[in-house]
Structure 1
């Protein structure tokens, strides 16, 4: 903290040593800036206050009978649109500002200046509005405010009547449109009822009752079909367990193992050899795999020999059966076969019945599916017709209400304007704020001088203390030697200080003079004009 304070003190000393740059900057900036501020033209403000009365006597009496518009909302809308370009062009024509423009660019500049300078403000809930503007000419400022006030009042009153006329036109157009829609909806509804009259008349539950009856019969037929299939399967199972003959004259061969072939001994020998090899080796051993391959080949040859044997037996049985007597036939097998044939006939019959019921249910279902579509279309037509009819009747009622509201508006004004303070031409200028500008120029000049002094003290620094010298050189300082009076350094610094103070004093006197000239015009300006005049 101590080092920071010492550094700040060194900066201030450096600025003081280079204070001649403050004199240069202030004399280069302040007089010129004060002169330009003094040459700025005076502006004059003109304003007007108007009270908007929105409390009409007919408003509570006609409540519920006419269309109620909010006059406060209408006034706020007019306030926001007052600075629109059409209104500003109208104000410029009323005040002859448009004749000052020779080109389109100049005219646009006039409109932009009006939009920027013209102000309108509200006093809150009191409905008191203030219009004001500043201009170099007091009479022009008054005329602009008067024109803006006139436009504001006329637009508000004219907008009310224009809204009523537009509402009447809109309602008439809508009534004609909905009348055409209503006729078209009635035509569509009539045509639809004529087209689907038979379906709509029979839509009392007949379709649904028939569909339910057919579905019940279909379910019963499907159940009977499943029962018949179950009995047929049971009969076939019993039939498979019986032999058609007693087997008195048939072969005694029961299975493949009971038939001896020429390959049996070799297969048994290879199987024993396989068992011995497996005790010593795994299944992937080459010898084991070779034995397995030979076994597979012998089994295949054995199977072929057995099949050839069966074929020869079957041929001989067919020849023998021709001579077999009825004593050899199995009666149980014959009875089961007859039942199986009956069940097959019953399943076929029930299958045809189920298919017939399915076809009838599908046909009725198709009609049932189309019936909701017809009902939905009829409902949509009725809904559209009712909506159009209700809108048409509502528009007729609103037209009567609008006519009553228009008659009430023509009888009396819902909005009345009372000008509290009319616009006047100002006698004294309201600006520009020269005092602020004078002080700003002064601060700018002094700030620039301080900045230049600080910058020059850093560019060409001057050692002002032993601490600064030690900090810069890094060498400790053990003592100082003061300048002798005979060198004249003290006198030279004294003259610089006096010059600095005199310069600032002269600038201060100039500043006071400029401020007094505009702050006290009657005391200063009048005598000066008399002397110079």
Structure 2
């Protein structure tokens, strides 16, 4: 610590040797700084406050119909990016600041100056924005702020409309692409259906379901065929028995009773068969709840009820008829008619069984290839459904984007309100000459100290034997002191007085200047 203090004292004694050059440099720097501060032009500030109202009454009304952008975020982003080079160039032209710029360099310097002088401040909560600009001419500053307000409003509206137009253009291009994809998918689906039209059912059921239905229909047809064949055989047996001459009246009566059990109604049976065929065709296309299927089933039930009634009447008539030789001939005729009708019904049912067997065989053959066809059909339908869904969504979004653009233009979702119009301050707001003069004094004193320190380092002087020994690293034999006479002491006191006067005069001049400047400012404020 003692060595550090000793070193500082040595530096101070070395700087004291060059005190007069330091005073001279301080005066020169102080005067130059004072002149610069006093010659700085006054700058006036113009400002305006804008309120951005983003709470439109149409927002809740159009919530599900139009796209609602984040207007607050857009305005905040615009406020941060408003002071850009294109906007500043536009601002310079609008405020006629480029009239005095003759060269390209001057224009570039003007743009840089304007960019540094512009300011946008936001409260971030109340959507209040303050636009300000400083210039040496208050009217120029006011024109610049007015132009900046116009650019701020126009940029927000223009950006919103540009976004809507860009979105509509992009969506239209995507719609055209998906239209082509949808048409291509429809063509592929149509060609597939035409190629495999014989393997596709109108009801949309798969091959396994159709095979099960055909199997059931075939079993029912075979059962009906067996029933018809049994009825036919019974009728033939009764006819053969009636023709034998070994039986008596009781035999004839028993035969008649047995034949009455096999009474046939060919006409009604034919109508029932036709309706059952019609029902089979309808079941391949519709469900059980279809009106045509319901009405056909009701008609078949009515015909079967009519058949039962007619069979009952014929049996009753046959049982009540007397047994005689002529009645035996009539009975044989009736039995022959019944046998013929049974043959017709057997033939019809054989044709039905053959048809169902052919269909069953075709369905069985189709089952082997149906998985591949169904997989291909599923893929085609899936692609078509995806393209159709995307196409419909894009069309809906295009309508929403169009409605949003029209809503923005017609109603103005964002409302810009100028709370404080552009106004220039009547008094200059810069420069702060009191602060600058104090800084100039500090700079002048610092320049003097630096001059003394630099001179002491460039031309060092040793004031102590220990310092000389440490610097030269040579043995020191002794130190010769200088005697100070009364004349030297008077000279030193006069020199100290002159140095104090010179330094105090510099500080005093600055203090007087600060006092005078403060008085002038207070008078202007009054």
TM-score bracket relative to the smaller structure: 0.5 to 0.7
Aligned to 2:29: 29
**Pairing 1:421–2:398 present:** no
Gaps of 5+ in 2: 209-367
Aligned to 1:399: 398
The 1:378–1:512 alpha-carbon spacing in structure 2 relative to 1, beyond 3 Å, is farther
**Pairing 1:2–2:7 present:** no
Which whole-Å CA distance do the structure 2 matches of 1:67 and 1:8 have between them?
75
Q: Would you say the 8 A contact 2:47–2:423 is kept in 1?
A: yes
Which whole-Å CA distance do the structure 1 matches of 2:183 and 2:506 have between them?
92
**Pairing 1:80–2:52 present:** no
Aligned to 1:59: 59
What number of residue pairs does the alignment pair up? Answer: 362
Which whole-Å CA distance do the structure 2 matches of 1:472 and 1:170 have between them?
82
CA shift for structure 1 position 162: 4.3
Q: Would you say the 8 A contact 2:441–2:507 is kept in 1?
A: no
Q: Would you say the 8 A contact 1:50–1:420 is kept in 2?
A: yes
Q: Would you say the 8 A contact 1:29–1:445 is kept in 2?
A: yes
Aligned to 2:507: 508
Secondary structure of 1:423's partner? strand
Secondary structure of 1:421's partner? strand
- How does 1:128-527 map onto structure 2 within 5 Å? 128-192=128-192, 381-464=380-463, 468=467, 483-486=483-486, 488-521=487-520
Residue by residue, what CA displacement relative to the aligned partner does 1:367-388 show, whole Å, maximum 9, x if unpaired? x9x9999887766544432221
The 1:199–1:442 alpha-carbon spacing in structure 2 relative to 1, beyond 3 Å, is farther
Which whole-Å CA distance do the structure 2 matches of 1:524 and 1:27 have between them?
30
Residue by residue, what CA displacement relative to the aligned partner does 1:69-118 show, whole Å, maximum 9, x if unpaired? 11112212322332233322332222112322223443333333322321
Residue by residue, what CA displacement relative to the aligned partner does 1:320-343 show, whole Å, maximum 9, x if unpaired? xxxxxxxxxxxxxxxxxxxxxxxx
Secondary structure of 1:427's partner? coil
Residue by residue, what CA displacement relative to the aligned partner does 1:252-306 show, whole Å, maximum 9, x if unpaired? xxxxxxxxxxxxxxxxxxxxxxxxxxxxxxxxxxxxxxxxxxxxxxxxxxxxxxx
Aligned to 1:50: 50
Residue by residue, what CA displacement relative to the aligned partner does 1:35-83 show, whole Å, maximum 9, x if unpaired? 1222122211111111111111121232223211111122123223322
Q: Would you say the 8 A contact 2:88–2:115 is kept in 1?
A: yes
Secondary structure of 2:92's partner? helix
Q: Would you say the 8 A contact 1:50–1:130 is kept in 2?
A: yes
Aligned to 2:255: none
The 1:110–1:460 alpha-carbon spacing in structure 2 relative to 1, beyond 3 Å, is closer
Residue by residue, what CA displacement relative to the aligned partner does 1:466-488 show, whole Å, maximum 9, x if unpaired? 655676687689998673434x2
Q: Would you say the 8 A contact 2:49–2:419 is kept in 1?
A: yes
CA shift for structure 1 position 448: 2.9
Q: Alignment RMSD, CA only?
A: 3.6
Secondary structure of 1:116's partner? helix
- How does 1:89-104 map onto structure 2 within 5 Å? 89-104=89-104
CA shift for structure 1 position 196: 7.5
Secondary structure of 2:422's partner? coil
Q: Would you say the 8 A contact 2:92–2:111 is kept in 1?
A: yes
The 1:371–1:466 alpha-carbon spacing in structure 2 relative to 1, beyond 3 Å, is farther
The 1:468–1:401 alpha-carbon spacing in structure 2 relative to 1, beyond 3 Å, is closer
Secondary structure of 1:424's partner? strand
CA shift for structure 1 position 143: 0.8
Aligned to 2:275: none
Secondary structure of 1:50's partner? strand
Which whole-Å CA distance do the structure 2 matches of 1:69 and 1:424 have between them?
33
Which whole-Å CA distance do the structure 2 matches of 1:166 and 1:30 have between them?
62
CA shift for structure 1 position 128: 0.8
The 1:476–1:107 alpha-carbon spacing in structure 2 relative to 1, beyond 3 Å, is closer
CA shift for structure 1 position 493: 1.3
Which whole-Å CA distance do the structure 1 matches of 2:137 and 2:106 have between them?
19
CA shift for structure 1 position 453: 2.0
Q: Would you say the 8 A contact 1:119–1:132 is kept in 2?
A: yes
Which whole-Å CA distance do the structure 1 matches of 2:56 and 2:183 have between them?
43
CA shift for structure 1 position 188: 2.9
